[in-house]
Every structure is written in structure tokens, then in C-alpha cells.
Amino acid sequence: MADIDRSTLKKAALTDPAGFLAFGLGSGLSPWAPGTAGTLAAVPFAFMLWPLPPLVQILLLSALFVLGVYLCARAATELGVHDHGAIVWDEMVGYWLTVLFVPLTLWGFFLAFVLFRFFDIVKPWPIRLIDRRVGGGFGIMLDDLLAAGYAIAVLLLLQRWTGVL
């Protein structure tokens, strides 16, 4: 994570509604594993998203993705760092997308969490390449969208082949 003092991070996260959202309602300020903290902050909201009709879910997540492009770009510009670890709106949207493909159970939400975080951290091809080459808010959001795609693929395979979910 880029070396930015805590007061600058807190100012960016807590003095502006856009920053508050980009920093995952403040969860991105966690000194340990801010991406994981941001994903944890997304969990309660996932339970509210899940019961909505599928079309509403997709439209809402599309809007949240577009909003994230703006929020993440603005926060990155304010910090002067592309995809600073404290910017976690992208993790939140990625997790919300992932849970749409699991049953509404603690086990399903837990597996979605673990798999999404794994792929977001490891960044298998082409995620790492995109993370390095695609700039701005779109780039920040896109790598987490792809991590969600990998997690969803594994979840669907688990459902089909093992009946785990």
C-alpha cells in the first residue's frame, strides 16, 4: 500500500460522501487487510440485495459499478495513488456480484467471500495484467469484477459437481 499518512486517508474517507463510499463506509481505513475489511463491510448489504428480483439485482449492481468508477477515480485522484488499498468500493461491488450466485445461506456467503478475496488477492491472468494496464476508476473496478467472475465460476462448478451449495 502506498505510504500515505493516516490523517490524509481519514480526511479523504470521512469529510466527503464520495470518499466515505469509496472507502467502504470507512472500512478501508483498517490498518490490516483493508480489502478484506471492505468486503466484510459489504456482507450485511448482500443479505439485502439477495432477495430482490434478478433483473433488479443486475440493474442495481450495474449502477453501483458505474458509481464506483466515479467514486474510485475521485478517491484515487485525491490520494494521488492509483487503486490505493484503502479504496474498497470495488471489493464491495465485486462481493455483491459474487453472492448472487450462491444460496442465501451463511455457508454460501462464506464461500463467496473466501473465493472472491482469494481471486482478488492472487489476481490470476488476466486480472493482474488489467490491474497494471487499465487506469482510472474503470481499471480499479474492472479487476474486482474479473475476480468476481473467477469466484462465480468456481462456485458454479462446486454447485454442479459436488452439490456443496
| HEC letters along the chain | CCCCCHHHHHHHHHCCHHHHHHCCCCHHHCCCCHHHHHHHHHHHHHHHHCCCCHHHHHHHHHHHHHHHHHHHHHHHHHHCCCCCCCCCHHHHHHHHHHHCCCCCCHHHHHHHHHHHHHHHHHCCCCHHHHHHHCCHHHHHHHHHHHHHHHHHHHHHHHHHHCCCC
* Domain boundaries, given as residue ranges, for the chain: 6-161
pLDDT one digit per residue (tens) for the chain, 165 residues: 457 888 889 988 889 999 999 999 999 999 999 999 999 999 999 999 989 999 999 999 999 999 999 999 999 999 999 899 999 999 999 999 999 999 888 999 999 999 999 999 999 999 999 999 999 999 999 999 999 999 999 999 999 998 777
* pTM given for the model: 0.94
